[in-house]
Structure 1
């Protein structure tokens, strides 16, 4: 049995339809934008965490070992963030 054919609406001309190439480019642009947003959000979160670690490292109510670990963690996060930002600046 023959399958029913859906007629093309007058507003759907060949020129108004999105081609496969157009769709791929649009999806790639959307994915790139989403990745950049997530990257920026993560960098901001890591900067906040580094600041909190540094703040905790100055608290006298926790052990010397904890304070030292928090200070080193803060420094490490800042170092990695600087490296990531430098790489991102070269790529963009």
Structure 2
């Protein structure tokens, strides 16, 4: 019983960690941030509004050092940035 409970709690903690967005917004808006599930090498963002901005981009920090910027996109589109080495540790939104 105890090992089943510990296993269940560990699984729940892992699932919660995957669902938590990895990032912060520079300004108020309605944005979703997420990482790829295959090694978490790519960070994504999609904003439906971003404090009146017409375009935005993201910056991802990579676990083995380095920073990668995404292409600028219009509000309503999805943008992404991929770490060449390591995985995404943090994603930040910026007006473009």
TM-based fold match above 0.5: no
Question: If the length of structure 1 is used for normalisation, what is the TM-score?
Answer: 0.34
Higher strand share: 2
Q: Which has the higher contact order (CA 8 A, sep 6+)?
A: 2
Question: If the length of structure 2 is used for normalisation, what is the TM-score?
Answer: 0.33
Higher helix share: 1
For the pair shown, the structure with the greater C-alpha radius of gyration is 1
